[in-house]
Amino acid sequence: MEKTFSLWKQQCLGKVDLSRKSCVDEDIEHVVFLLNSCEEYFTTSSCSGRLTLIDGVTDSCGVQKQNCVWLFVSHQKCKPEDLMCGLARSRADAVLKFEPFVLHVQCRQLKDAQLLHSVAVNSGFRNSGLTVSKTGKILMAVRSTHGMEVPLTNNGILMVDHEYIHFLTKIANQKMEENLRRIQRFHQNFQSAMSRGQVQKQQIPNTDISEELQNPSLRLMEETQEEKSKDRKNKRTVYKQKKSGDELQQTDACCADGSCGELDLEDCLDLFS
Amino acid sequence: MEKTFSLWKQQCLGKVDLSRKSCVDEDIEHVVFLLNSCEEYFTTSSCSGRLTLIDGVTDSCGVQKQNCVWLFVSHQKCKPEDLMCGLARSRADAVLKFEPFVLHVQCRQLKDAQLLHSVAVNSGFRNSGLTVSKTGKILMAVRSTHGMEVPLTNNGILMVDHEYIHFLTKIANQKMEENLRRIQRFHQNFQSAMSRGQVQKQQIPNTDISEELQNPSLRLMEETQEEKSKDRKNKRTVYKQKKSGDELQQTDACCADGSCGELDLEDCLDLFS
């Protein structure tokens, strides 16, 4: 498995980038570089986050069909005029979407994926999760739900006024800023986790590193006091236990089949993250 | 582990439902029942999907703070009047959200989680993923991205007109209908997968069932021709390989670090599902 993983990594990172842009987004170059420099990981796809205005026929399922027109796309903040220009070209049903940072990482072993998953969730990417394929590949998808999706035109007719577009642009830009903050948090938390892993390796030779990394006394970078008050869910460090009963009552979740004691990482799986 | 899982299951299903509703949503009772009747699984939390109108102060990060007022919530379709009534009570920043079906399932073994993950992705729940905790618990979260989030008031002032509310209600209801269709698909696909597993057990005693279930000749329920044209990504059966190169170029993903051959389930992890 070790040899296979190294081979997979070599093959993957040696291939041509098949994305539209053919390169990694600037705002996450440091994240991708950091992960790929670790022998336990390699990235397979990524996006720093984006604002898109897509024009397409919305079928009776409320789903935009595949053959859509991209009226506007940006990985940075935008201005109301950008959206207005795009909307002026709408001939069908235009929808504005903000989609946050997403990253797929192949991991050498399950414990590596668990560590990365923990870092992702604690950095605010609460919809992250693993995939274990039948070929033995272990993938960790870093995902968040802090998005936005707003229908704006119907058969090419604008359904809102310019004041609303200004209002929407401001909110979309705020989400983009929060997205960048979470990316930084993820980068720093991951660096901390890996550094502590290295320190442990040097101090205690021949110790199973996965057990060391699971030591609850290890702390990852926590947010500043200011940030903590903004998002209470990010107060948790990686291995701190969540009080499932209290938390369930405080979350937005309206349904649960019951709570199970002793939950740890999976406690972070609030129904609606 | 076997004995522990059974104990966890017994403890979990025996506990009081801590959700607001204190019961499982009607539209997914059959799904929850089916999963809990299998010895390999038990559900820990669920929601059939919901429309919510929440009033709260949006901070500078674009995130609604925790102390919000719920102006409206429904697990079924709604009428424009429902939203207008709720919006009339807004004193801050009201946001309409549609959140699709979500389900957390604890699994006995990794292969059980892999099967369920595969079923979920093929049923349209493409943001599904696993969590493996340090206590050995394996959780599968069934998740989708086909949501909607629309800011509607600013400091209690409605930013759109009634015509837009009608338009939005129609789209939200369409998403709710599609959500129900995906739930049915998930239920049927899971039933098929489990039935085939049972047939294999009876026909070939002492065979490792996990290997049998991974036989690519096994087919899950596919969508009708009509449904197929609506969502090409759901054409895939569980174990069919995706041509990573071609698919990456056709998806909405704007960034990829490269494609890796031999991908199977993880190929379903399009960046933007």
Judge if B54 and B171 occupy the same domain.
yes
Say whether pLDDT at B59 is over 80.
no
Residue B21: pLDDT band by 50, 70, 90 thresholds? low
State which H helix or E strand residue B50 sits in: strand B50-56
What per-residue confidence (pLDDT) applies to B18?
62
| CA angle, residues B207, B208, B209, in degrees to nearest 5 | 100
- Answer yes or no: is pLDDT of A271 > 90: no
* Structural domain includes residue B231: yes
Do A190 and A142 fall within a single domain? yes
Distance from CA of A231 to the nearest CA of B (A): 8
pLDDT score, position B186 = 97
**Sequence-ordered list of residues with C-beta below 8 angstroms from that of B229, at least 6 positions apart, any chain:** none
Taking only the tens place, the pLDDT of each residue in B215-242 is: 333 333 333 333 344 444 433 333 332 3
Backbone angles phi and psi of A221, in degrees to 5: -60, 125
- Tell whether A143 and A226 lie within a shared domain: no
Q: Is the pLDDT of residue B175 over 60?
A: yes
Query: Is A209 part of any domain?
Result: no
| CATH classification at residue B107 | 3.30.1960.10
Q: For residue A225, give how far its alpha carbon lies from the nearest alpha carbon of chain B (Å).
A: 15
Residue range A222-232, pLDDT digits in tens: 333 333 444 44
State residue A273's pLDDT score.
Answer: 55
Amino acid identity of residue B70, one-letter, is W
Mean pLDDT computed over B180-203: 84
Render pLDDT for B78-125 as a digit per residue (tens, 0 to 9). Answer: 999 999 999 999 999 999 999 999 999 999 999 999 999 999 999 999
pLDDT above 50 (res A135): yes
Determine, yes or no, domain membership for A187. yes
Max Cα–Cα distance, chain A, nearest Å: 68
Residues B184 and B244 in one domain: no
Considering Cα of A206, then A209, then A215, then A220, what sign does the dihedral take?
positive
Specify the pLDDT at position B197. Answer: 75
| B235 & B182 share domain | no
Looking at B143, B172, B199, which one is the last position of a domain? B199
Say yes or no: B181 and B138 in one domain. yes
B214: chain A residues, CB-CB within 8 Å: 134
Is residue B32 scored above 50 in pLDDT? Answer: yes
Q: Residues A201-229: what's their mean pLDDT?
A: 36
Output the pLDDT for position A57. Answer: 78
Let me know: does B139 contact A265? Beta carbons within 8 Å: no
Interface test with A, best of B29, B255, B264, B269 (most A CBs within 10 A): B255
Same domain, A158 and A262: no
- Residues from chain A that touch B58, judged by Cβ atoms under 8 A, are 171, 174
Is A206 within a domain?
no
**Per-residue confidence band for B134, with pLDDT thresholds at 50, 70 and 90:** confident
- Structural contact between residues B96 and B40, judged by C-beta atoms closer than 8 angstroms: no
Report pLDDT for A20: 60
pLDDT band at residue B11 under the 50/70/90 scheme: confident
- Among candidate residues A142, A165, A199, the one where a domain is terminated: A199
pLDDT of residue B264: 40
Answer whether residue B205 is part of any domain: no
If asked whether residues A166 and A192 sit together in one domain, one would say yes
Tell whether B15 is covered by a domain: yes
Same domain, A124 and A254: no
Domain count, chain B: 2
Query: Do B61 and B15 share a structural domain?
Result: yes
Q: Is B158 helix (H, G, I), strand (E, B) or coil?
A: strand
Chain B residues close to A95, C-beta within 8 Å: none
The answer to whether the Cα torsion of B212, B197, B46, A260 is positive or negative is: negative
Shared-domain flag, residues B223 and B148: no
Q: Is residue B122 part of a domain?
A: yes
Q: End of a domain among B166, B199, B232? A: B199
Mean residue pLDDT of chain B comes to 76
Q: Are residues B56 and B172 in the same domain?
A: yes
Domain around B257: 214-270
Given the DSSP bridges, would you call strands A93-99 and A50-56 parallel, antiparallel or unpaired?
antiparallel
Q: Is residue B150 part of a domain?
A: yes
